[in-house]
Structure 1
């Protein structure tokens, strides 16, 4: 038996309720600043009531239910209620268009949609094109005279009985997270009870979460980061979560203090946004001991953040498909936050070349993660056996990310395989050029892409956002790159922009930048 055993999300929550019935599990702040708390017992009762309401609506084990919700308590209630009865949560981005939602709902064959009034109109226009949807439930909604079901009313008089609950197993799928598609349609990543519990155990051990911690969730709950790295370690350790409806750069540490948060999780973009705000010295007086982060930021930004706010930053690496984090910097060892760390508990990690052979030491290779499908890595892609076989080969999950291993044994992220630029026969990692650009004090953020070039296959084009009040010319910035990069890695052109197109978790959408070049 492994660390997961025969546990499920249902049995895990039941265990925590027995141990900590009156302990606050969720402290929530909505977009208007109103705060609400739920104890473990209160949360569990609402989960059980929603289970019975869903069973009354004929939701069965194996059914897919789309959650199109902002961060709120109802999201967590729905996630765990669905898992309790063996149904499968399909969390989606509230910014997705009707056309994007039509694809996900139809591909997942969802039978129920849970959303809010603000997004209801998006679905009314396509309802006839969603043949599997039987009902729509609205959360935080008071109007009774509508064609929609009311979340609060459904659970108000529902039973907390567990008599009708089906038997569920650790390997049962309880979540399906769609990856963002750039050149192809999004893929549904199937996540099991065992997957969620494994990553909770992994994270709680790696960052030493105790029952006194409160995980700070400001990133969207529909994303794996908030589910895997914050919610699950809190539940596994008998800790709690501080949840905000939206991320606020200016109020991040004020909300942390108000909600009692101790461990945060951010991406590079939110960290830069916080640093770009006028510094409030009072923000140093906060309860956060640690902030996990993914995606590269400049060394001076790392130092600035830690010094200003009196905490540790911890760089890690993971993806929706790995579920847990295969690479992380050690909490109590030497933190090298320009790296993505070393292999974590429960995983083997290696680099492979284009032929699938292990890359030689010091060379660049694709990150491959050894795991057990449905337990330590995703079970599979839904209705896409070909993509599953391409991604999981001989027990190794191919991530599509390139890295190198330093002499110190730490892994250093290079770039997405598809973001490598081929210039005059030389491979150039866009991330390496971006790293140099952001070292310049005038640069807030950069994005580098390859653009078609008749002579050199591809030319290197950089997009740059400057720090507020800073001025620099294209020529000056190119000269700076020449001092720090080999000649073939220096950008051919630099375009100054105000904003970047981004995913909901702050990743720059380079395919949109590429398309804008081709259009012009």
Structure 2
């Protein structure tokens, strides 16, 4: 493995990787005849990537770009995204990936907040950029990716005439969030290289062989998982990243097989979608050694591994923190929400609302740091133009993740829920994820989202939003057989107070580009979800006596 010096920059590391592994593949795209680009697929070696990066860096440099500039990329998952990012980083330019799923007002906020000097876009997305610019006073040049290969408009301000440093910001990634405006996470060259090194050195089941791994990542490159986490792991180990355009359950088996993937990345939503696919001739004809992801339904974890023949290694991670936590050591805790133990380079506390440590196996917020002397070592550099939010997150010398976990006496950590998704009902804390997992295991349910709604007596009540599988139908009545079946199913799996008091059938649950559920978009702002047409009030059936046997 190539172990970068702490002073190394991305440009320096790419040059060294190309020198070591010139003819080995670095970036691949699986074939897809229906795709508008590279329908036959492509594969670029380390030498080819370095050549393309060098050529494009010269175009940026000639136009006057360098340290101090920020350029937005609206290139979806196309391989040119990596080439532009690497070319910019070699000069000290900061890359700001733009989310193609954003609506104009959302993108306008990012463009203005990041104060972009230039936007490089796919032709098909240029109208979205122009609509977005109409909603912000910030003016920036816009260029198609094809035109950008030859010549760029000059930046509005001169570059800083100095060498690129490891502490310079390589990327600004905007958190998706569930409430409020997204924050811009500042990721330095050192952060991105340290992320790849941390992943590559995990150990246990997550064992990267130099020059032998092919990492299939279907996640968006405008987020940290594909753009930084897996890509720089590949760069530092002489391996290849296989970047498909997006996750498609109907193409997963074919692409994993044909790309010769040895590692695959997933999100929790991927697991039930693949399990719901009919038997496929290639579903066990693969070279996958392990999968990396988060959020697998505990009730379907073992089922997935048995059917497809490789382990799902659950992890915890977030954009702000370079160090993910992996459940990669055997024996693993399949069928639970365990995500591993800490290792050297990461300290963890589990605390209550007053930041006081809680006892083992007690829910609390997870706090992280590198060490007492250097708590922020290699972590994100802060939130763009929001020092107050940065310091609040780091209060007391620990980063506050906002995630509620519990820790076993042997140090094994279990994910419970995002703190804001804990439902407080009659003094009981209910993890929405636990109720969602039960509902999603029901044979008629395709997807479920659970949240708390106001209750005049009990503070909050459990509301379940359910998408039914194709062919399933329910009428908005508590006497409907499917409604009764769902209620009975929950009663049998959950304590009475966790059973939904409200039930609403919907055709779609909104998600982000990384398939994170956007619960705040389920109901219009300022409205009471309980008054939504079709909402079923199950509270009369939710009584302790009726649930006593549960």
Alignment partner of 2:80 out of 70, 74, 98: 74
Distance 2:111 2:339 in 1: 35
Distance 2:59 2:140 in 1: 14
Given the superposition, is the C-alpha separation of residues 493 and 134 from structure 1 closer, same or farther in structure 2, using an over 3 Å criterion?
closer
Q: CA deviation at 1:26?
A: 1.1
Given the superposition, is the C-alpha separation of residues 432 and 125 from structure 1 closer, same or farther in structure 2, using an over 3 Å criterion?
closer
Aligned 8 A contact 1:102 1:126 in 2: yes
Residue number in structure 1 paired with 2:217: 217
State the secondary structure of the residue aligned to 1:318.
Answer: strand
Q: 1:20-59 to 2 correspondence within 5 Å?
A: 20-29=21-30, 31-32=35-36, 33-59=39-65
Structure 1 alignment gaps of length 5 or more: 142-149, 156-163
Residue number in structure 2 paired with 1:316: 315
State the secondary structure of the residue aligned to 2:65.
Answer: coil
Distance 1:331 1:168 in 2: 38
Distance 1:337 1:320 in 2: 26
Given the superposition, is the C-alpha separation of residues 407 and 464 from structure 1 closer, same or farther in structure 2, using an over 3 Å criterion?
farther
Cα deviations across residues 144-169 of structure 1 (Å, max 9, x unaligned)?
Answer: xxxxxx133349xxxxxxxx995122
Residue number in structure 2 paired with 1:329: 327
Residue number in structure 1 paired with 2:547: none
State the secondary structure of the residue aligned to 2:43.
Answer: strand
Q: 1:64-463 to 2 correspondence within 5 Å?
A: 64-127=70-133, 133-139=139-145, 141=146, 150-154=147-151, 166-206=162-202, 207-210=206-209, 211-299=211-299, 301-325=300-324, 327-336=325-334, 338=336, 339-371=338-370, 375-463=377-465
Aligned length: 500
Distance 2:162 2:260 in 1: 37
Distance 1:223 1:483 in 2: 39
Given the superposition, is the C-alpha separation of residues 21 and 337 from structure 1 closer, same or farther in structure 2, using an over 3 Å criterion?
farther
Distance 2:207 2:430 in 1: 38
Aligned 8 A contact 1:4 1:197 in 2: no
Q: CA deviation at 1:252?
A: 0.9
Residue number in structure 2 paired with 1:18: 19
Q: CA deviation at 1:180?
A: 1.6
Distance 1:395 1:84 in 2: 32
Q: CA deviation at 1:246?
A: 2.4
Given the superposition, is the C-alpha separation of residues 228 and 134 from structure 1 closer, same or farther in structure 2, using an over 3 Å criterion?
closer
Moved more, 18-27 or 108-117: 18-27
Structure 2 alignment gaps of length 5 or more: 153-159, 474-480, 533-550
Distance 2:411 2:491 in 1: 29
Cα deviations across residues 36-57 of structure 1 (Å, max 9, x unaligned)?
Answer: 1211111111111111211222
Cα deviations across residues 160-184 of structure 1 (Å, max 9, x unaligned)?
Answer: xxxx995122221111100124321
Distance 1:255 1:374 in 2: 39
Q: CA deviation at 1:394?
A: 3.3
Q: CA deviation at 1:283?
A: 2.1
Given the superposition, is the C-alpha separation of residues 335 and 454 from structure 1 closer, same or farther in structure 2, using an over 3 Å criterion?
closer
**RMSD value, Cα:** 2.3
State the secondary structure of the residue aligned to 1:177.
Answer: strand
Aligned 8 A contact 1:373 1:379 in 2: no
Aligned 8 A contact 1:194 1:374 in 2: no
1:507 equivalent to 2:507? Answer no
TM-score by length of 1: 0.90
Given the superposition, is the C-alpha separation of residues 425 and 341 from structure 1 closer, same or farther in structure 2, using an over 3 Å criterion?
same
TM-score by length of 2: 0.86
Q: CA deviation at 1:408?
A: 4.8
Distance 2:236 2:331 in 1: 24
Distance 1:331 1:35 in 2: 35
Q: CA deviation at 1:106?
A: 0.9
Distance 2:132 2:439 in 1: 45
Given the superposition, is the C-alpha separation of residues 337 and 74 from structure 1 closer, same or farther in structure 2, using an over 3 Å criterion?
farther
Cα deviations across residues 219-254 of structure 1 (Å, max 9, x unaligned)?
Answer: 110011112331111011111111112221111121
Distance 1:495 1:312 in 2: 35
